[in-house]
Structure 1
Amino acid sequence: MSPVMMTRAIPALKAGVFALALGGMTGLAAPAHAQVGAFKQAVAEAASASEPVAQFYRDTKFEPIWTGSDESSRLRRAALFRALEEAGTHGLPDRSAEIADLMNILRNVQTTRDLGRAEVAMSRALVNYAADLQTGLLEPRRIDEGIVRKKHQPDFASYLTGIRDQAPVAFLRSLAPQNPQYQALLREKMRLEALQAAGGWGPTVSAKKLERGDQGGAVIALRNRLIEMGYLERSASLRYDTALEGAVQKFQAAHGLDADGVAGAGTIAEINKPVSARLKSVLVAMERERWLTPDRGERHILVNQTDFTAKIIDNGEVTFQTRSVIGKDHSDRRSPEFSDVMEHMVINPSWYVPRSIITKEYLPKLKANPNAVGHIEITDSRGRKVNRSTADFSQYTARNFPYAMRQPPSRKNALGLVKFMFPNKYNIYLHDTPQKSLFQREVRAFSHGCIRLAQPFEFAYALLAKQTENPKQFFDGILSSGKETKVDLEQQVPVHLIYRTAFVTPEGRAEYRRDVYGRDAKVWAALERAGVVLPGVQG
């Protein structure tokens, strides 16, 4: 259909809210082919600011998909307006202003060139909405220096091909991440919004510590709040009894706390967090899910820093899990967030001391005492051992220190007896550690940035099981040799270092963790600046 015919016959865009018609063109005396040329030129000019949109129209010879008078075009328009209207469902900013702008553009079409600009405006609205929904509203690297994740880049022109070739409503619904975690977070968001609207979890608990045998107003508040949260059956008990202790333990387990059944200061602080705080965590987690590539690997490794765990996931199921230690909450030690691919492991590894540790920690000690850190070998640029008794370390600074440092393989090695490598510019990897007591801590942020594993041998067995019949025998044989040995993984495994203060377990239970590095607070602040709001919550 020519642009002349389109502008004379475009019907109502949508019944009800979007009952709007495009005005007809008047006073056009030019031949139809001139109008076609004007339409194409207008589309080309308007689309030039967005290469994916421009490419789509070049490929389709500038055929319209929105501004036709046919039923398919009308359905596309209606579906897009509805999707934009419901963007808040996914924790995206309200798009009312954008909808109003689009409707105004369509309402005021008077010329063929106006029609071409309207066509492109609709396409750009779709691409922008789909990009926000599929890859996230924010640019991770601009939020925090430790969030070094690169967002996946879809084929943006495919959004326009999809809306053209598929049922519009179904296509637009398919744009949201389809992985189970995102969908579960979406359900948790809706649940929390309903709770928020109903008044939340009731009065907070005013106490520093409560435990079994206690009674009084604070115990009643604790009981009632846990009932509202779903951790305790309704009762009229006024005492901190066995049932309440068990409910506290369930709450603690679901919030990464030591499950001792005692409501200490840390537990009460978490219990007193309002629904709005949990809702923020969920919205941040949804945004973070959008950053992560949808193709995570049938087998992949997932390290959730706030949960202090490392997991092996096979076809969506957790097949191995262990506790972990992450980087200390110092500016130069926090573990970064990124994805890479694990290629090999090293059994009986040497520890090649990073330059930052050499200059910041070891050089001052060597200046004071040349025999300090005696378990570390010092070598020159040719790999020769440096004689500590004749070396004058006092002459060196962090800039000109010329030596390398290495700790040979041993049970006391800083890396323990095995490390798992996914080579990256951040020099981050997973490894064993001789400091086993740290895994008993509730908050496990102690390393220089690498991820330490509580069960590194079992982790290795699980990885090796894909390539050897007896992974334990294979691994232990190399281990007992004491020789530094590289073992390639025949099936390389994607590794995702993530940061989630809200997540949903495979059983469907929402769990929450503390914002160890304060990163989620920064993400939420950025979302607010971008226009995301909590329903019914001011400030």
Structure 2
Amino acid sequence: MSLFYSSFFLQVFKNPFIRKRSLAILFLVFPIDVSAEQNLSFRVALISTLSLDERAKAYYKKTNFTPIWTDSTSESAARRAAFLKALSTANLHALPEGAYQLTEIFNGLRTSKSYHDLGLLEGLMTKSFLRYAEDIQSGVLKPSEVSSALAQEVVYRSVEDYLSGLNSSDPYLYMRSLPPQSQEYNNLLKARQRLLATMKQGGWGEFVPEDILKIGDRGPSVIALRNRLVAKGYLLRSVSAVFDNTLLSAVMKFQLDHGLFADGIVGAATIAELNTKVQERLKAITVALERERWHTSSSLLNPNLYSRKIIVNLTDFTAKILDENVVTFHTRSVVGAIKVNQTTPEFSGLMQYMVINPTWFVPRSITVKEYLPELQIDPNVHNNLTLFMPDDGTTISRDLIDFTLYDEDNFPYEMKQLPSQNNALGLVKFMFPNKHNIYLHDTPHKTLFYKEQRTFSHGCIRLQDPFEFAYTLLEKQSPDPVADFQSALRNGKETVVALREHIPVHIIYRTAVSSPDGHIGFRRDIYGRDTIIYKALTESGVALIQNQG
């Protein structure tokens, strides 16, 4: 056996998944040097295998059908070994192992003898590689095909980019470069392995009874609570049946990690999170991995272009400004209500300007579906709103309108609210133009920020601390951002302030989120989107517990 085959086997056998199939690899002796004689039979077989992928065929034609996987060079052997090793770890990333035809590849490696066989194997491995590379880098699913609410842009690399990149790189380093390189993705991978280990050990033990527990309580329910928190890593083991200060601190930490108010009282919401099964947390991690693959494929994440970004996590009800991936501002948010056409979509955009003392132009859907029926009963309702003609802006007196003559299809007027303290947008809005007409803004309804689940808007995102948010945005272009902002605010006129540097805004939806130290917290699936995505992933072949070989 040649030296390069011996080296190839040593590399491959290090992986236990492939070692179990080593007998098949032992027969990997290609009898001919395809690269030396571009055999017609090889080409025909390769093209037939790639019949549905014109991009891959174009690449092979461009390279004169030079094999990537199946010639007798050490480079080709290294690519085979690196790819097989990568496929053997696909389960770690919650990918659909069966989609990559690993069994068929092993059979081809074992049995291929002729040019025709090698052409079929070459095509099979290329198709498998392209599917794997795109899945692990940009996601198994196309977001917009799962739900119209998943409107984030995903940039897909070209077939030529993948194949030429593989051909021109160290194959092991290239395979390792394909998954997202973000800290978030790495933290999720580690959390998934911990949860799998926990599930194998039987989970987190008995459930906590549905009692309200607080400091000073004692008894079996407190013991169950303590044991559950010990199993989850929030407490050191103890036999105490008393709800003491140590247990209180653990409860509050658990509540913070799960998006609950940290009041230390174990009520229905806290117990529901405590009693969530490991399998459900694994589903959240699986979906979060897929979402992170989508997210890191956005062109707006290029650190060479944008050092600052804004992240709004819908399930967390927060908005953050990050500089060099470090949170420099954080505030609570209110997001779209759990109603048809009011949930906030997921997408990214570029924040370009803010409007101080904004006018609120009432969305058409609100005007005709909500306000018109009320105006038909009482023409003076919502008298803080002005009616106007949309073509020229002419103000129309309500006294001149018989609202009962109109329905939502033929109502000819629009509505707006002039700048004021009571304006629905508050005193400032932050604009990143998009087809969804979503933006961030102030609000006069401050009490809603003290709700635990803040799903109350028509889709836009309300901020608890909009002035401080504005100051942080302006600090990069003004020596005194507070004074500049307040001066514009005091004049009472609608004022547009352009941002000299546009800032990426990412509206995300994560029910599994990591902290800088790698700890994973969980949030509720408020819109049910994780359920939809997980179902689509399972239909694509992703399993909660993958085949371990």
TM-score over 0.5 for the pair = yes
Q: Deviations over 1:146-166 (max 9, x none)?
A: 222232212332222222222
Do structure 1's residue 384 and structure 2's residue 394 form an aligned pair? yes
Q: Deviations over 1:117-137 (max 9, x none)?
A: 321211111110010000111
Q: Give 1:234 shift.
A: 2.1
SS in 1 for 2:315: helix
Contact 2:59 2:160 in 1 (8 A): yes
Q: Deviations over 1:10-41 (max 9, x none)?
A: 99875542424357669xxxxx86x5344344
Q: Deviations over 1:182-220 (max 9, x none)?
A: 111111111111111222211111123111222221110
Equivalent residue, structure 2, for 1:154: 157
Give the direction of change, closer, same or farther, for the CA distance of 1:99–1:182 in structure 2 (3 Å limit). Answer: same
Give the direction of change, closer, same or farther, for the CA distance of 1:316–1:61 in structure 2 (3 Å limit). Answer: same
2:424 to 410, 414, 417: 414
1:426 to 436, 452, 461: 436
Equivalent residue, structure 2, for 1:397: 407
> Which amino acid in structure 1 is aligned with residue 336 of structure 2?
G
1:259 to 249, 258, 262: 262
Do structure 1's residue 492 and structure 2's residue 502 form an aligned pair? yes
Contact 1:253 1:259 in 2 (8 A): yes
Give the direction of change, closer, same or farther, for the CA distance of 1:24–1:347 in structure 2 (3 Å limit). Answer: closer
1:438-477 matches, within 5 Å, as 438-477=448-487
Q: Give 1:86 shift.
A: 1.4
1:138-537 matches, within 5 Å, as 138-294=141-297, 295=299, 296=301, 297-380=306-389, 381-535=391-545
SS in 2 for 1:322: strand
Q: Deviations over 1:432-471 (max 9, x none)?
A: 0000110011000000000000011111111111111111
Write the distance in 1 (CA, Å) between the matches of 2:156 and 2:331.
32
Write the distance in 2 (CA, Å) between the matches of 1:523 and 1:45.
34
**Root-mean-square deviation over aligned CA pairs:** 2.2
Give the direction of change, closer, same or farther, for the CA distance of 1:247–1:299 in structure 2 (3 Å limit). Answer: same
Write the distance in 2 (CA, Å) between the matches of 1:535 and 1:43.
34
SS in 2 for 1:335: coil
Write the distance in 2 (CA, Å) between the matches of 1:127 and 1:213.
60
Q: Deviations over 1:405-427 (max 9, x none)?
A: 11000110000011111111111
> Which amino acid in structure 2 is aligned with residue 104 of structure 1?
N
SS in 1 for 2:265: coil
Contact 1:10 1:22 in 2 (8 A): no
Q: Give 1:485 shift.
A: 1.1
SS in 1 for 2:496: strand
Give the direction of change, closer, same or farther, for the CA distance of 1:243–1:11 in structure 2 (3 Å limit). Answer: closer
Deviates more, 1:183-192 or 1:412-421: 183-192
Deviates more, 1:52-61 or 1:286-295: 52-61
> Which amino acid in structure 2 is aligned with residue 523 of structure 1?
I
SS in 2 for 1:95: helix
Contact 1:20 1:103 in 2 (8 A): no
Do structure 1's residue 21 and structure 2's residue 27 form an aligned pair? yes
Write the distance in 2 (CA, Å) between the matches of 1:134 and 1:162.
14
Q: Deviations over 1:236-260 (max 9, x none)?
A: 2111112111211111011111111
Contact 1:152 1:292 in 2 (8 A): no
Give the direction of change, closer, same or farther, for the CA distance of 1:536–1:244 in structure 2 (3 Å limit). Answer: farther
Contact 1:11 1:22 in 2 (8 A): no
Contact 2:100 2:131 in 1 (8 A): no
Write the distance in 1 (CA, Å) between the matches of 2:235 and 2:7.
57
Q: Give 1:97 shift.
A: 7.2
SS in 2 for 1:154: coil
Write the distance in 2 (CA, Å) between the matches of 1:385 and 1:338.
35
Contact 1:429 1:450 in 2 (8 A): yes
Write the distance in 1 (CA, Å) between the matches of 2:7 and 2:334.
62
Contact 2:440 2:461 in 1 (8 A): yes
Write the distance in 1 (CA, Å) between the matches of 2:528 and 2:316.
14
Contact 2:211 2:221 in 1 (8 A): no
Equivalent residue, structure 2, for 1:29: none
Write the distance in 2 (CA, Å) between the matches of 1:182 and 1:52.
30
Write the distance in 2 (CA, Å) between the matches of 1:250 and 1:63.
58
Contact 1:10 1:67 in 2 (8 A): no
SS in 1 for 2:354: strand
% identity of equivalent residues: 47
- Count of residue correspondences: 525
Write the distance in 2 (CA, Å) between the matches of 1:76 and 1:64.
11
> Which amino acid in structure 1 is aligned with residue 156 of structure 2?
Q
Deviates more, 1:515-524 or 1:10-19: 10-19
The gaps in structure 1 that reach 5 residues or longer are: 1-5, 27-31
